[in-house]
Amino acid sequence: MSELQKRLRRFDRERGWDGVRPEHTLLHLLEELGEVARELLREVGYKEGEAQLTGELADVGLLLYKLADQLGIDLEAAMLEKLAANEARFPLPESREAMARYLERNDED
């Protein structure tokens, strides 16, 4: 388990928040993800105001790590394993070609 997950577990336990069920953590995570969307719209100028993306993304990350901990998943280890699988699944030449096609299509819009 990562140090971040250990620290989050201690943080919640000290405050009595360790009784929150995983499904409620997921709801909080989705709520925070919506806040990231709103801040991103501010960042690109679609909405008024100064974007606060850093804090909102941190909230999403913390809740994702908390959910993983509640489910008994070492998120850092899982992500490293998934990244290794993705590196094998998406080799460089083919991936670069696919990205070039994507950029060409989006430049046409």
pLDDT of residue 84: 98
Alpha helices (H) in 1-109, listed in sequence order: 3-15, 22-43, 53-70, 75-89, 92-108
Same domain, 1 and 42: yes
pTM reported for the whole predicted model: 0.85
pLDDT in tens, 56-104: 999 999 999 999 999 999 999 999 999 999 999 999 999 999 999 999 9
47 lies in the same domain as 66: yes
Same domain for 69 and 18: yes
Structural domain range at position 104 = 75-109
Distance (Å, rounded) from C-alpha 1 to C-alpha 76?
A: 8
Q: CA 22 to CA 9: how far, in whole Å?
A: 13
DSSP state of 48: S
Is the model's pLDDT at 105 over the cut of 90?
yes
Q: Say how many domains are in the chain.
A: 2
